[in-house]
Structure 1
């Protein structure tokens, strides 16, 4: 396998790109981490990577051909996707890349489809004995309720409706909204749990991240917590057919009675993954060891509890050439 890595749709994922660079160079000093973006000159992660290549929109008919061409030209052996919209197309074309000696770190198509549609996600979680918010009939509602798009991301079009007056025609007639029980954040803590699945589809690491403060849908302040959720999820999600690499599960947890409510699954690196990395859960290293070095990983629980991440804005400066 080629030893270079490509992070797609890199955008602002500077820390993720840097951690892959640092990790890969510990194993192979001459290897490189490349990136793709629709506008490389305006992608901070692209600028700090070892080379950023322009690609068309993921829905374009020539997207896969262009991506394969980049991988072959730059001797890329591993692809790391970072946004929801590219997961389906990479899963559909996974075998094509594998035939060319390239491994996209993306789960099988059936799992990606279950994660992309929140209605399917609820079924998946329920089948694995994880409670989900009770559905609410919008025509005969009980309040308060919560509404969100079945295919949404980035915390867009989310509504907390506390009474009938707030259930506006705009919300009621929105074609993509699903309506459900409202989980009161005064009772429950919000978590995103980073989980790494090996090539054998078994979980190798589970790191709950408490979301203390959120900005633009991503954790801005948070802690790692070695709590009840670790064994709760290991018991229920220890083996998932077709699932590999990093996934992150969003849920609510009430400590008083250990009630856990699953919300959604993102089958990729989440924006808050750097907190898990700094706590000692080095997923880039797991990928290198598994896919390049051919190692088999054991379950790892040596990451540090109560690691706090406080995010702030920083800059990538580019001077005129």
Structure 2
């Protein structure tokens, strides 16, 4: 018989059903009977009906969000709360003291310090923070500061344009100098509405494209001793789709260990964060983005043998596991694919039945 333990809550899982599966498998491997509670604001999302139980929450921006979340916490008394949504994380860690309050109740909430959460959300500030701790990152300016960028990078370079406060490469374009101004204006047209926004061009950032090949990293720190590096996983990106890695090959994390340790320590990291990094021919790594959550690239290392959900559960329930959770094979190529599942069934009308589905 498996030991009964407090449940965990996964918020805004959306289409990431694999994450729920892997936490479920980790419970089984540890011999624990633990439920997975899904918190979503869309009852027909792919993940909403996939856990052991589901609770609807208002969008994080709704004034009733905090109270509804508190009711969920009071009902289930979970041991872990994690979210896969950048904007919800910003609300939990920066805009409110919700994350602090949860931790005071003994609930593990993976993440980074409030200052680094703000930096992860603001790509200009992120570049400054990386420079302050000696981590290489491309020069980053807003759409109003192109002349300064061109003076440094030169007119023959290629440039990446994207939203300053965006998620999943929103507003992204890669262009040469002669199309740079046009690309900035195009990106500005799709900028997400943000309170206090003044000049829309300040909501767009531009960087010279970093040399070398692009990699994704997962950096993992202890949940009980923040800032202490526990594992680093790396994959080289082979194909992108809709702002996420679509195909990748796992590689040796050795070239990235120093950068990982620096960021984990400075960010007071607990749990996992996802990084986008370029590595040039001389072995110099340049960080271009940080996502303080399970990113879309984690499945590539999990399928190669890594097991962060197992590590999370061992930490929050005080269990000892060996180091096998952080071992993975190099050279494993994986590619994403689509599935579709029924998420709701409507009432029969006339002779037809309407079925709501979502592509996973």
Q: Contact conserved, 2:237 with 2:249, CA < 8 A, in 1?
A: yes
Residue in structure 2 matched with residue 37 of structure 1 by the alignment = 40
User: Is residue 204 of structure 1 aligned with residue 206 of structure 2?
Assistant: no
Residue in structure 2 matched with residue 279 of structure 1 by the alignment = 304
Structure 2 alignment gaps of length 5 or more: 189-199, 347-360
Could you tell me which of 172, 175, 178 is aligned with 2:205?
178
- Counterpart Cα distance in 2 of 1:12 and 1:238: 28
Range that drifts further, 173-182 or 58-67: 173-182
Residue in structure 2 matched with residue 222 of structure 1 by the alignment = 248
Residue in structure 1 matched with residue 196 of structure 2 by the alignment = none
How far 1:30 sits from its partner (Å)? 2.7
- Counterpart Cα distance in 2 of 1:135 and 1:218: 21
Distance 1:298 1:125, change over 3 A: farther
User: Is residue 8 of structure 1 aligned with residue 15 of structure 2?
Assistant: no
How far 1:79 sits from its partner (Å)? 0.5
Distance 1:156 1:297, change over 3 A: same
What is the number of residues matched between the two proteins? 316
Distance 1:319 1:38, change over 3 A: closer
SS in structure 1 at match of 2:129 = helix
- Counterpart Cα distance in 2 of 1:241 and 1:164: 37
TM-score normalised by the chain length of structure 2: 0.80
How far 1:294 sits from its partner (Å)? 5.7
SS in structure 2 at match of 1:103 = coil
- Counterpart Cα distance in 2 of 1:296 and 1:22: 15
Could you tell me which of 57, 60, 63 is aligned with 2:62?
60
User: Is residue 128 of structure 1 aligned with residue 133 of structure 2?
Assistant: yes
How far 1:32 sits from its partner (Å)? 0.7
Q: Contact conserved, 1:286 with 1:297, CA < 8 A, in 2?
A: no
User: Is residue 156 of structure 1 aligned with residue 180 of structure 2?
Assistant: no
Distance 1:2 1:240, change over 3 A: farther
Q: Contact conserved, 2:46 with 2:343, CA < 8 A, in 1?
A: no
TM-score normalised by the chain length of structure 1: 0.89
- Counterpart Cα distance in 2 of 1:275 and 1:6: 23
Instruction: Provide Cα deviations, 1:136-184, integer angstroms capped at 9, x if missing partner.
Output: 6413534333222221112111232313355227258633112221235
Aligned residues: CA RMSD:
2.6
User: Is residue 83 of structure 1 aligned with residue 107 of structure 2?
Assistant: no
User: Is residue 139 of structure 1 aligned with residue 147 of structure 2?
Assistant: yes
- Counterpart Cα distance in 2 of 1:34 and 1:259: 42
Structure 1 alignment gaps of length 5 or more: none
Distance 1:294 1:124, change over 3 A: farther
- Counterpart Cα distance in 2 of 1:231 and 1:98: 29
Larger radius of gyration: 2
How far 1:226 sits from its partner (Å)? 0.4
Q: Contact conserved, 2:250 with 2:332, CA < 8 A, in 1?
A: yes
- Counterpart Cα distance in 1 of 2:260 and 2:160: 28
Could you tell me which of 91, 99, 102 is aligned with 1:97?
102
How far 1:80 sits from its partner (Å)? 1.3
SS in structure 1 at match of 2:69 = helix
- Counterpart Cα distance in 2 of 1:104 and 1:192: 23
- Counterpart Cα distance in 2 of 1:166 and 1:277: 38
